[in-house]
Amino acid sequence: MAIAAPPMNGSPPGRPGSHSAVPRELGPLARKIAEEPIPDAISPVVLTGGARIVEFLLVVVTGIAVHAVWLYPAEGFEPIYLIVELAVATAAIIGFQMVDIYNVQAFRSHVYQLGRMWLAWTAVFLLALALSFFAKYEYSFSRAWTAGWYVTGMVVLFAWRTGLGWLVRHWADQGRLIRRVVIVGGGREGEALVRAIGAEAHSDLRICGVFDDRGDDRSPSVVAGVPKLGTVDDLVEFTRRTRVDLILVSLPLTAEDRVLQMARKLWVLPVDVRLAAHMNRLRFRPRAYSYIGNIPVLDIFDKPIADWNLVIKSVFDRVAAFLILVAISPVMLLTALAIKLDSKGPVFFKQRRLGFNNEVIEVYKFRSLRHEHADPDAKRVVTRGDDRVTRVGRFIRKTSIDELPQLINVLRGDLSLVGPRPHAIHAPLANKLWDDVVDGYFARHRVKPGITGWAQINGWRGELDTPEKLQQRVEHDLYYIENWSLLFDLYILLRTPFALLETENAY
């Protein structure tokens, strides 16, 4: 289990884990690597899970198709056949799992996966025939259907696996099935870790570089052939410029202060962080470790929403956003007409906000300010009685109708329906940027921002004019990130209309 995030108060000088919206300058080599085009990663968990779902459906559909061709014209629909098809499909998936063909390496090898698939498929049918014989049901099912389903199913599954193998090899060539790794800590421990990763056969890890705050002989510029790219602060910026899937900390457990210091800097990133335990003399029970290949590691932080959770949230966001957009289209049309009649200028307004992993995104809003006072970077926060706000703008801001066009951002993938609200990139508080006010502020960017969130339904919406309000909003955002579930999202969405009735802080 990953350790808890560091507390937000009591950070040492320099506020580790908090960084300005202004990009940090990287060294030439780190900048070159970060600028290389890297495709999005494909989760092996989702890939193997998707293969199971597809193959279950293929087995069932093949059985139904053979039944429709051979039996339906003469005998009609027999419910018992559907029950058998579902049972055999379930047994087939279990059999394929037992012969170990649900992993990326198996997908890439035709000989390995097809031979084992044939054995498992045949065993399932033999088992089904044996059960029907001992249960005295051997004459209840058509032999033509059984033989036709066995042969047709095998052909369909072979064709599917052949296509999947080609696709997986194509993705592997693109680098979408590898995990991009960076190592924190050079010296003897870092060198041993690099060599241990290199010794793994069929490893999906690719080391991008080493980062270390030490600049003396304990941290050379090249560690076992891997270049040192900068300090840990450079790593935070590096991770925001390119895809990093895993951070391995190669410090010994006895270096408690340094491990905690690294943790405080890295917890703001949406990346799995692990402490390599391959050289530690202090040994725990085997169950205390997770393993990357044969390398024992201790979990420090997990990416908050990953694998199937990420797929579920993304699908839910887009489907729900589309349905909501259709349902409220009359309200949006009337709002657009009112804005057009009330003041000159465009109906919509784009504002630059900080999104996932500190990336700058442009969110859509209904224009609520006078056109000549447009402020795309929100350098001046809207306050009570602000003369820049139009008559219609005052109403749509109080009711949050001005936020409705952000459903388009959800469909585009910039936002989620639920998540930490995206703040403007230069929004100040008492002449300080927000990340200068709250320690660990950017940890709220470990997930995609949302239209509504846990902070908003708990009364922390509207103007942030005191450090306490900002602190409360960030704490609520972090609570949401650590406790996310689809039911939590649904609860927040259902609560949002009632929260909008509280307009005291919205103007």
Q: Which amino acid is at 448?
A: K
Residue 133 has pLDDT above 50, yes or no: yes
CA distance 419 to 489: 8
For residue 56, the number of C-alpha atoms closer than 13 Å in the C-beta half-sphere is 14
pLDDT per position as a tens digit, 41-84: 999 999 999 999 999 999 999 999 998 888 777 776 778 889 99
pLDDT of residue 280: 61
Residue 373 has pLDDT above 90, yes or no: no
Q: Are strands 226-230 and 222-223 parallel, antiparallel or unpaired?
A: antiparallel
pLDDT per position as a tens digit, 161-192: 999 999 999 998 888 999 999 999 887 888 88
pLDDT of residue 333: 94
Average pLDDT over the chain reads 84
Min mean pLDDT across 22-26, 247-251, 338-342, 406-410 is at: 22-26
Min mean pLDDT across 58-72, 128-142, 315-329 is at: 128-142
3-class DSSP assignment, residue 492: helix
Residue ranges in 78-186 assigned as alpha helix (H): 79-98, 104-108, 110-134, 143-174
User: Going by C-beta distance under 8 Å and a sequence separation of 6 or more, which residues neighbour residue 130?
Assistant: none
Domain ranges of the chain: 28-38+178-303, 44-174, 308-499
pLDDT of residue 90: 96
Share of the chain above pLDDT 90, in %: 42
**276 near 200, Cβ under 8 Å?**
no
Min mean pLDDT across 21-30, 371-380, 405-414 is at: 371-380
The label of the residue with tokens 């602060």 reads 233
pLDDT of residue 160: 96
Q: What is the domain class of 28-38+178-303 according to CATH?
A: alpha beta
CA distance 480 to 491: 12
Q: Taking the model in full, what pTM does it have?
A: 0.82
